[in-house]
Amino acid sequence: MKEELRKESAEWLKALAIGVIIFAFIRTFFLSNYVVEGESMMPTLEDGNKLIVNKIGYQISDFDRFDVIVFHHNDKEDFVKRVIGLPGDKVEYHHEFLYVNDERIEEPFLESYKEANPFGHLTGDFTLEEITGSEVVPEGKLFVMGDNRGGSWDGRHFGFISIEQVVGKVDVKYWPLNELDASL
């Protein structure tokens, strides 16, 4: 009886150890937690929200316009922003509307700001050439902006980001629990 109990305990310990190793492997190479700091992505993401970031290796072709991503801004800071421009895109803002390759693109994630401030200035007018010196987003680069356009340090200030800077796409906002959202 004691021998059976010891064998069963050893099997449980092995299973637990294997589970911990698999979890650590997945956590290290595929997924990461990220805590939002600041208000640059409000109302989509708020200060203190916790996110799961998919870190699987990316190519530029893996990104879609309006994906929310985390990237290394510098050696000490990671930023979370929304992809606005992909390689080859001509990006402009006129009268609070986004134009990509001369086509007006709706931004539904900004609706609550527009409703709260119907006559206000959210984004401001600009062209990529005015702020970056390039008419289009270069190959291997992305143009990103925060949803809180008046309170976001983003591509309008620091230009393009490189694919090498991207940590991953935001898959799930899991904290606070009442705001669980896998549709970012």
DSSP designation for 27: H
Task: State the catalytic residue, choosing from 40, 55, 141, 169.
Answer: 40
Q: What is each CA distance from 151 to 80, 89, 171, in whole angstroms?
A: 13, 24, 24
137 Cβ partners below 8 Å, 6+ apart?
A: 85, 86, 87, 88, 89, 91, 128, 143, 160
Task: State the catalytic residue, choosing from 81, 141, 169, 173.
Answer: 81
Phi and psi for 100 in degrees, rounded to 5? -120, 120
Whether 81 is a known active-site residue: answer yes
| Residue 84: how many other CB atoms lie within 10 Å | 24
Contact 109, 44 (CB under 8 A): yes
Whether 40 is a known active-site residue: answer yes
CA distance 155 to 144: 5
CA distance 115 to 47: 22
Q: Which residues are catalytic?
A: 40, 81
